[in-house]
């Protein structure tokens, strides 16, 4: 298990344990108040606890080394975990809507709201801080499962805030419908959050292009390109857990020998790792330059040049992703 994977796994352990403790606190608050709104929050925490352990197991699997049956590793399981977690968040939102509507139709008497509000407020603060840190660490370590856990914790916070607002209004006004009304509002927010997590996970499973990441990579390569990298094309990036798989074709001078060509690939690899970390696998196919490449080639003192240099092609998402070389007008060449 590499360092980042170990960090993700250990942090998810904390998320799972804290989830259990917060669930106990919410049950205590419900036993004191008999508030249906607090019971709804506690029911959502059940999903939170289950999701925490699902995320923990997925991080354990994703950290396993590649084997014969999984040559790219086990990182895809994080997308499955995030799909489950996002679905459970949506389910939690639907449960809250159901309970809130039922409470509107059949109001229940509540008591000791002051203690209930304090206990639930504590869980909201802890959930938000833990969720914020989980998202931060997940983005740093490129763990979708940890990001999903963090968003789940924060969505739980939003619903809890809604319930607290409703309970405070109920405490001061005595209007029993207020807690259900606010809970309905935040249930909608929760469902949208769950949908975004599921959408992102399905994108990962389908290897959908991460436009922001691809843009960042292309801009970085454009800024740090070398003269011998005449052209880059067919660039693809696939994410498996915390590992990024980077494929591309690099056009280099045709007269380079294997050692010289390999040196250029190593330089490209070093630039990528320096920017995006060591959890990166690069597969670079070397292409020899063609006569039409001369006009975009900045290699100096080339004894085989057949045309003067005109201008260098600026790499963009559009032209670097095509499985074709480019000439001076960026027209694809075979």
pLDDT at 240 over 70: no
pLDDT at 227 over 80: yes
Nearest in space to 255 (alpha carbons), one of 295, 296, 305: 305
Which residue did the predictor score with more confidence, 172 or 296?
A: 296
Was domain 1-204 assigned CATH 2.60.40.10? Answer: no
Q: Between the CA atoms of 167, 169, 172 and 176, what dihedral angle is there, to the nearest 10 degrees?
A: -70
What are the start and end residues of each CATH 3.30.70.1350 domain in the chain? Answer: 209-319
Instruction: Show contacts of 292-299: CB within 8 Å, 24+ apart.
Output: 292/325, 292/327, 292/328, 292/333, 293/230, 293/231, 293/251, 293/325, 293/327, 295/327, 295/328, 296/230, 296/231, 296/326, 296/327, 296/328, 297/230, 297/253, 298/227, 298/230, 299/227, 299/228, 299/230, 299/253
Confidence category of residue 193, pLDDT binned at 50, 70, 90 = confident
Confidence category of residue 81, pLDDT binned at 50, 70, 90 = confident
Cβ contacts of 174 within 8 Å, gap of 6 or more: none
Average pLDDT over residues 193-202: 83
| Cα–Cα dist 36/221, whole Å | 56
Half-sphere exposure of 149 (CA within 13 A, CB side): 36
Which residue did the predictor score with more confidence, 34 or 216?
A: 216
Instruction: Please list, residue by residue across 160-199, b when 16 or more beta carbons sit within 10 angstroms of its beta carbon and e when fewer do.
Output: bbbbbbbbbbbeeeeebebbbbbbbebbeebbebbeebbe
Confidence category of residue 209, pLDDT binned at 50, 70, 90 = low
Confidence category of residue 332, pLDDT binned at 50, 70, 90 = very low
pLDDT at 217 over 50: yes
Q: Highest mean pLDDT: which of 125-134, 181-190, 278-287?
A: 125-134
The 3-state DSSP class for residue 288 equals strand
Whether 293 contacts 334, CB under 8 Å = no
What are the start and end residues of each CATH 1.20.1510.10 domain in the chain? Answer: 1-204
Strands 231-240 and 243-252: antiparallel
Q: Which residues pair with 232 in a beta bridge?
A: 250
CATH superfamily of 209-319: Cation efflux protein, cytoplasmic domain (3.30.70.1350)
Cα four-point dihedral sign 173, 176, 181, 186: positive
């Amino acid at each position: 298990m590499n360092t980042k994977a170990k960090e993700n796994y250990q942090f998810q352990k904390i998320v799972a344990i804290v989830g259990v403790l917060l669930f106990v606190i919410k049950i205590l608050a419900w036993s004191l108040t008999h508030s249906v709104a607090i019971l709804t929050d506690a029911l959502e925490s059940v999903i939170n606890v289950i999701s925490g352990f699902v995320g923990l197991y997925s991080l354990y699997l994703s950290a396993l080394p590649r084997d014969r049956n999984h040559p790219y590793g086990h990182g895809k399981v994080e997308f499955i975990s995030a799909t489950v977690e996002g679905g459970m968040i949506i389910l939690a939102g639907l449960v809250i809507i159901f309970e809130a509507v039922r409470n509107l139709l059949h109001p229940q008497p509540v008591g000791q709201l002051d203690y209930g509000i304090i206990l639930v407020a504590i869980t909201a603060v802890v959930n938000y801080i833990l969720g914020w840190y989980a998202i931060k660490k997940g983005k740093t370590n490129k763990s979708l499962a940890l990001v999903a856990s963090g968003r789940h914790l924060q969505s739980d916070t939003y619903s809890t805030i809604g319930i607290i607002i409703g309970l405070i209004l109920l405490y001061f006004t005595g209007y029993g419908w207020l807690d259900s009304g606010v809970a309905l509002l935040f249930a909608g927010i929760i469902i949208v959050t769950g949908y975004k997590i599921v959408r992102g996970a399905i994108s990962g499973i389908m290897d959908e292009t991460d436009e922001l990441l691809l843009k960042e990579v292309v801009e970085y390569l454009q800024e740090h390109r070398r003269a011998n990298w005449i052209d880059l094309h067919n660039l693809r990036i696939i994410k498996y857990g915390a590992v990024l798989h980077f494929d591309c074709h690099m056009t280099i001078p045709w007269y380079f020998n294997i050692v010289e060509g390999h040196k250029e690939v190593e330089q490209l690899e070093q630039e990528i790792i320096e920017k995006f970390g060591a959890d990166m696998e690069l597969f670079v196919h070397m292409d020899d330059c063609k006569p039409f490449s001369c006009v975009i080639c900045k290699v100096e003192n080339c004894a085989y040049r057949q045309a003067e240099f005109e201008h260098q092609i600026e790499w963009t998402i559009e032209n670097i992703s095509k499985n074709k070389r480019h000439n001076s007008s960026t027209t694809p060449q075979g």
